[in-house]
Chain A
């Protein structure tokens, strides 16, 4: 058998648990020399975990790891690096205030022959860049580089450190369409040169177009092992990936009602004082779900913070049902019916160490029903919590239980139960399904649709284009803190949105 066909890295019967939660359950994975092998699965399927086992970040509870058909005991990341296994993480491990060359030197230490100082580090980066066709300026500071450029630095770093088995964790997740195409072409070239490439992704099209083989994981198990991509189609892969899935209910046509939210030249600064969003003009009517599409980091967080009132309005107006609340505190905006599903549930949605009942009442503490003079009424709080737990089917919950112990999906349901109330007028949903499994995801989407149907205006800020397309009734695209275009659902297609995302109006 030619070397090309032989396994480079093989993991079998891998078990891994965090606490009581079994994340990997007898999982398998094999990648051969010279191939692009896609590892496909939903969020939480165990893709990242099995690759962290392969790179020595996590120790497997059981199972064997073979490199080049030899059993290879992995005691830590250093062993993996010696075996030539390198990973490009989703969150780049680069020091922002250092230059590219300095980061290279930092990673190389004394491990890489030929790299002895800044000059040789810079030379190595530029030489490797020319060799594989990824140009970067070695003297540039990391925080002046775009996301795509940082990714190139990270890849070159891993290659210079001697990786022959390269794992890329969702490399296209943060890239524009054009950048993604260039990245995937690079991946093909890398494999053609004999490197074993693992492509972790959840994008089906990428798998079919650019990978030689595919492994699909679901709930910690390998459900499709080592299949060639020829003859597979997206619907087959999707079915394997998600298991059985109910289609979303057909969208009822709702005639838009009165204006719920109006932004007029709305501008917000980031905490460091730099512009976050500038001159946003939006009209959101009752019954609408306005999707705000965009590549992450283009002003989504400042927009969400500015809407709820965590960040001050720098300029412009914010009207809820006709009342200007641009300078009003959070409490006043909430009284006017503004509600938010934050992108990070335990950072700004829930207090993890308070009970479920306490978290549910957090936004309504001044309601007379909850107070008796100086004291709260724990009985009423418990009743409300019990009712919410039942209505939203929050699993593993009891009113007196600490909310930190809830899983992601159930924590999100808890936030929904609190935010979706009778006074809801404008719902800001920021990446509402991030990190959720399919069922929880559907539940969140159904809840948002139902809120719109009952007359709320919903603003869906999401970096997941698929989510925007399935849920929205209208789409606006944000780029560099400005709205670059608004599209009706008839006008919306991936290409048009992609152009707007990159700022081409």
Chain B
């Protein structure tokens, strides 16, 4: 006879249980996504083909997935670094738009020698992204203004800047659509001859590895971890709290800006008004799935990149909208969160006591 059922927080969760719940949540989320896709008209027998074979196992599909992963790794790192110091950057798209504008500007205005032009574009993107996060950062650290609303709204401002340029000064005269002129060959990231896979991907992976060493092994990384986990202790220990938060948040903005630059110089080769869509949500999802671990970000970005690839083919072949990708991301995320709940808490059934 049961007296009552209670939730008990587990003292220490072994990694086996964590892995099992993670995989269980992932599996459940993907299964649920499949059900929805079938309901939306995708034949059940072609699900494996659409979601696995075409995305990860065919050469073209894999190239597309790897290419898509490059900016996703960068926005995932962007979210992870800011989250480490409890700065909720939900304006990733804003910084990404500014990075894209800055990179395109270097290309369109032919700034600097051609030999290093594309790297100047990357530097400009880094700087612009970092600059775009300065107002919320200053307002937060100086006056305690919530960064969530500020970063989010600055995303819209960034997007309006893009539209202003694309419908005005930078509109390509040879094109009916509001897009900028195409980047010249010197303004494109080198490709390795496999789809669009190129320096963008290499750059993103290299930065993720650097970020791992930075977070895990450097003094500033340890300071950032301490501040994120317990700001009061960090202050009482005499750590430079504001300086560390400032550095981490600027890095976060810079990486989002770089993502914009990588898209402009690596895949789109021009500034368009769609290239930044959905990167805020994807960045946060990837940062969360990776538990803000830079190496985990690479894996999670690869998985979400696969969803992008699958989404684009589902769109073409079954007339599903872009929202499907966001929907699947959402379902997987909620499944993982629910699974995590059960690895953190234990159901305890108390029996009526008889000695």
Contacts and interface: CB of A to CB of B under 8 A. Distances in A.
Interface of A: 12-14, 19-20, 59-65, 73, 75-76, 308-310, 329-331, 333-334, 340, 342, 346-354, 358, 361-363, 365-366, 370-371, 374-376, 378, 405
Contacts, number: 106
B267 to A, nearest CB: 32
Given A310-B236, A363-B238, A365-B223, A75 B3 contact: yes
B352 interface: yes
Contact of A12 (B225, B236, B352, B355): B355
Nearest to A338: B238
A411 B229 CA distance: 17
Interface in B324-354: 350, 352-354
Nearest to A73: B352
B11 A405 contact: yes
A375 B217 contact: yes
30 contacts: A59-B4, A59-B6, A60-B350, A60-B353, A63-B355, A75-B3, A308-B236, A309-B238, A310-B236, A330-B236, A330-B237, A333-B238, A347-B230, A348-B233, A349-B233, A351-B225, A351-B226, A354-B222, A358-B222, A358-B225, A358-B226, A362-B234, A362-B237, A363-B237, A365-B239, A366-B219, A371-B219, A375-B217, A375-B218, A375-B219
B145 interface: no
Contacts of A310: 232, 235-236
Nearest to B226: A351
Contacts of B226: 351, 354, 358, 362
Interface of B: 3-4, 6, 8, 10-12, 213, 217-219, 222-223, 225-226, 229-230, 232-240, 350, 352-355
Contacts of A365: 219, 222-223, 239
Contacts of A362: 222, 226, 233-234, 237, 239
Given A73-B352, A334-B238, A340-B236, 13 more contacts: A19-B8, A63-B353, A73-B3, A76-B4, A329-B238, A347-B230, A348-B236, A349-B233, A352-B229, A352-B230, A361-B222, A375-B213, A375-B219
Contact of B229 (A14, A353, A374): A353
A348 B217 contact: no
B238 A351 contact: no
Main SS class of interface, A: mixed
A257 B355 CA distance: 62
- Find the residue from B3, B233, B237, B239 having the highest chain A CB count within 10 A: B237
A12 B354 CA distance: 10
Contacts of B217: 375-376, 378
B232 A347 contact: yes
B232 A330 contact: no
A64 B6 contact: no
Contacts of B213: 375
Contacts of B219: 365-366, 370-371, 374-376
Nearest to A26: B355
A347 B237 CA distance: 12
A350 B10 CA distance: 20
Given A62-B355, A375-B213, A351 B233 contact: yes
A362 B226 CA distance: 8
A354 B229 contact: yes
Nearest to B350: A59
A72 to B, nearest CB: 11
A62 B236 contact: no
Contacts of B350: 59-61
- Find the residue from A310, A331, A347, A348 having the highest chain B CB count within 10 A: A348
Contacts of A370: 219
B230 A330 contact: no
Given A60-B353, A73-B352, A342-B236, A374 B230 contact: no
Nearest to B241: A330
A428 to B, nearest CB: 11
A366 B4 CA distance: 53
Nearest to B348: A59
A76 B4 CA distance: 9
Contacts of B239: 331, 362, 365
A409 to B, nearest CB: 17
B355 A75 contact: no
- Find the residue from A59, A65, A308, A329 having the highest chain B CB count within 10 A: A59
A63 B3 CA distance: 13
Nearest to B223: A365
Nearest to A371: B219
Nearest to B236: A348
Contacts of A334: 237-238
B355 A59 contact: no
A376 B6 contact: no
B236 A349 contact: yes
Contacts of B233: 347-351, 362
A222 to B, nearest CB: 14
